[in-house]
Structure 1
Amino acid sequence: MSIRNFIYYGLLSVLMLSCKQVYEPLANGIYFGEAVNENLKKVTIEENGAQTSVYVSLASPMDYDVTAEIGVNSSVLDEYNKKHGTNYKLLPDSYYSLKSNQCIVKAGELSSSMIDIDIKAFDDNLEMAEKYAIPLKLQEASDVDILQPSSSIILLCDKMIVTKVIYSSQGGATGASPTMSYEIQDGEKPIEDLLSWTIEFLVYNESFSLNKHILRFDGLDGKANTFARFGQHSFPENQFQLTLLNLPIHAVTLCEKKKWYHVAVTCDGASVKLYLNGELDVIASHPEPNTKISWKKLAFAIGNPGALSEARIWNVARTQAEIANNMYAVNPESEGLISYWKMNEGEGTLIHDYTKNGRHMNLLKSCIWKDQKFPPEK
């Protein structure tokens, strides 16, 4: 054999070996079927409790039954809370039961049957404003590997909240004709020097028309530095718009009438983010980076005929996970929460601030309260 042929066949052998390594099939593995894209599953706990289920899947079928053991693992929840800055608590085991702790994938199949999980109705022994979860993890499996990225799933247990919301059919503007407002009096400390902050509220519109205000926060100079409305002139009437220090920020998502939206605006001194129903909608650069903001007068308006609920101000920029997991209620003693109006009074003209800061708003228009469930029915 010539030197040239020797080199040729040697290189060919190397390439064949490399291809064998690249295309060799991966070992089979088992995982939670619903945890492929996200290791979370939300469950709404209604007045009669709730039922949900989980199942496991294989990467490819086997010619024999595969059994997997599942169990509750608190460290999974601890890791999630640490990563996302949340405070989910482990739901006491007296409030739920697993039909079985074994999932069996039959020979020739890819997925197991459903394992039902019954969750009891929450009662007064559980704190209403606290968030609870059931963290499940694959503990053992017969003759296959456990695929770690999808080896756990957290059941986020959201209690159905029955409350009252404030409703008006009049509409109005937060500047000239607000629905409710609070103004810091002489000698009282204003909300000031906030580099990072978050504003949240729930809003419902029966219908839309242009230039319908929703909030206006005035600075120490008496001028609006934070302003929001639906339907800025020449823009769609169902488009939410925030203006911060004269920078207009328009939502990408257009809102639908007769549907509840959770709106959250966060600022970290460098960027401003708008979230709708817990989903990031817009990111904008801060108009004046590292500028601290102050508010002396706070006003909300039900601009379009509709309702408001759960308005909050924080002195921190909330994360997406914190926003999405606490849209309908929070603990009034939460760190960073500096004003919290549930707007659930049901009577009277005082809208209570549930934080210790006591910035109670005065109701300035004739409104009614309506019964409402959160999460809202779709």
Structure 2
Amino acid sequence: MKLLNNSIMLLASAMLLMSSCQSNDIDNEHHYDNKLYISSEGVCSDLLIRADITEASREISYRLAAPATEDIQINVGAIPSMAATYNLMYNDNAIALGDEYYEIPEKTATIKAGDVSGDNIVINFKNTNQLDDKKRYVLPVSFMSASNIDLLDSKRTVYYVFKGAALINVVANISKTYFPVKWKSSVSGLKTITVEALLRSADWEAGRDNPLSSVFGIEGTFLVRIGDADRPRNQLQMVAPGGNFPNPNVAPGLPTNEWIHIAVVYDATTGERLYYQNGNLVASDNAASSSVSLGSNCYVGYSYDSSRYLPGEISELRIWNVQRTADQIATSMYTVDPTTEGLIAYWKFNEGTGGNIHDYTEHGNDLSGGTVEWVNVELPE
């Protein structure tokens, strides 16, 4: 009986202790400071100074740690003087963005009682093409005040940074996807073709059984691809009249984790077949023998079946009906005038959103159908 009484007393003590712990947990949950803070990125640095970009918009999101017990009024404003703070924090040398380049349509917002956030704050930028692209600019926007709530000082300001655009700022990773080419240009009976592209892959092997990576063209007719059963998987070849070119182990393979510009020329008027890497001729022969038509079953990133995808990123894919010279290729790897004579299609793969790829020529050979992962870059590096 004494043992039973002791057990009952121990059980009662444990229950009392658990009740006390739960009570303390509840007290702790309801006795921290509820504060307002910015939940979007503290530094937005993807704003580019480019002649073709005149305006942009960004939004500030914010929230509370717990639902508001009453309506909270928020006021925001730009604080140009905080450019110095930004420079110290991020080791930058930006100057404050002038007020003629932005507007904040609504500088107040409300978090309703019971909510943890309200409508985003919108900042509109304008005339940014007039900024000096050799300088960097910053616009600090901060919560100035909030009624009935404290502000979390470490997250009450966001910095919008403008910088001069690189020649290429966005590229497309098209691994395991592809684009059928629905030509609006005349691509029948081409005697001369030049294909150019910027490529990067982390692994040309890509952990797959198929040794082929497709860039552009038509299976069995005219195709620019990488790898094969008779060569390393990082060696480019052009399938074209005259046989596959170049032969195995004639030209250097493509590097991994590094951008490389490739260009192949097929010219039945001269017999030349040429292969350039980064503007340097690495292989040639004189086996080009007949005209080529690209009208049917032409793809970007596909040939024969979907296992032959391009395992990486692509930019600046161009198709010409003229032979590009070594000098022309070497001096225009990162951009080219879309009105240049002989340019049939020009896919920059720089849209940054969605899966539709614009043809920058006037021919309208836009691409659609693929699923793209957009990657921010600065090229040339």
Alignment counterpart, residue 241 of structure 1, candidates 219, 237, 241: 237
For residues 1-378 of structure 1, the aligned pairs below 5 Å read 160-168=166-174, 170-171=175-176, 179-184=178-183, 190-209=186-205, 211-218=211-218, 224-245=220-241, 247-250=243-246, 252-269=251-268, 270-288=271-289, 291-297=290-296, 298-301=298-301, 303-364=309-370, 366-376=371-381
SS at match of 2:329: helix
Residues 217 and 224 in structure 1, CA contact (< 8 A), matched pair in contact too: no
1:24-48, Cα deviation, whole Å (9 max, x unpaired): xxxxxxxxxxxxxxxxxxxxxxx99
Q: Is the 8 A contact 2:354 2:372 kept in 1?
A: no
Separation in 1, partners of 2:234, 2:275:
16
CA distance in 1 between partners of 2:167 and 2:366 (Å): 23
> Aligned partner of 1:253: which letter?
P
- Amino acid paired to 2:376: D
Residue deviations 1:98-151 (CA, integer Å, cap 9, x gap) = xxxxxxxxxxxxxxxxxxxxxxxxx968xx9xxxxxxxxxxxxxxxxxxxxxxx
The one-letter code sitting in structure 1 at the alignment partner of 2:279 is: G
Q: CA deviation at 1:331?
A: 0.9
- For the residue of structure 2 that corresponds to 1:321, the secondary structure is helix
Contact 2:216 2:299 in 1 (8 A): yes
Counterpart AA for 2:278: N
SS of the residue aligned with 1:257? coil
Q: Percent identity?
A: 28
Contact 1:206 1:304 in 2 (8 A): no
SS at match of 2:251: strand
Distance in 1 separating the partners of 2:180 and 2:361: 16
Q: Which runs of 5+ in 2 are unaligned?
A: 1-47, 50-127, 134-164, 303-308
**Alpha-carbon offset, residue 189 of structure 1:** 5.6
Q: CA RMSD in A?
A: 2.7
- From the two aligned structures, give the one with the greater strand fraction: 1
Measure the CA separation in 2 of the matches of 1:181 and 1:305. Answer: 17
Structure 1 stretches (4+) deviating beyond 6 angstroms?
none
* 1:231 partner SS: strand
What do residues 184-222 of structure 1 show as CA deviations (whole Å, max 9, x unaligned)?
A: 4xxx6641222222111111111022523223423xxxx
**2:92 is matched with which residue?**
none
* CA contact 2:266–2:288 (8 Å) conserved in 1: no
Aligned residue pair count: 208
Relative to structure 1, the CA distance from residue 234 to residue 224 in structure 2 (aligned partners, 3 Å threshold; closer, same or farther) is closer
Superposed displacement of residue 284, structure 1: 1.6
Could you tell me which residue of structure 2 aligns to residue 37 of structure 1?
none
- Between structure 1 and structure 2, the one with the greater Rg is 2
Rounded Cα–Cα distance in structure 1 between residues aligned with 2:275 and 2:188:
22
Classify the secondary structure of the residue corresponding to 1:311: strand
SS at match of 1:308: strand
**Contact 1:190–1:294 (8 Å) recurs in 2:** no
- Residue 98 of structure 1 corresponds to none
**How far is 1:246 from its partner?**
6.1
Q: Are the counterparts in 1 of residues 314 and 349 from structure 2 also a CA contact under 8 Å?
A: yes
Cα-to-partner distance string for 1:323-356 (whole Å, 9 max, x where unaligned): 0000000011111111100111111221111111
Q: For structure 1, list consecutive stretches of 5 or more residues without a partner in the other structure.
A: 1-46, 49-122, 129-158, 172-177
**8 A contact 1:204–1:259 mirrored in 2:** yes
Query: Secondary structure at the residue paired with 2:232?
Result: coil
Deviation of residue 363 (structure 1)? 3.1
Cα distance in 1 for partners of 2:355, 2:188 equals 27
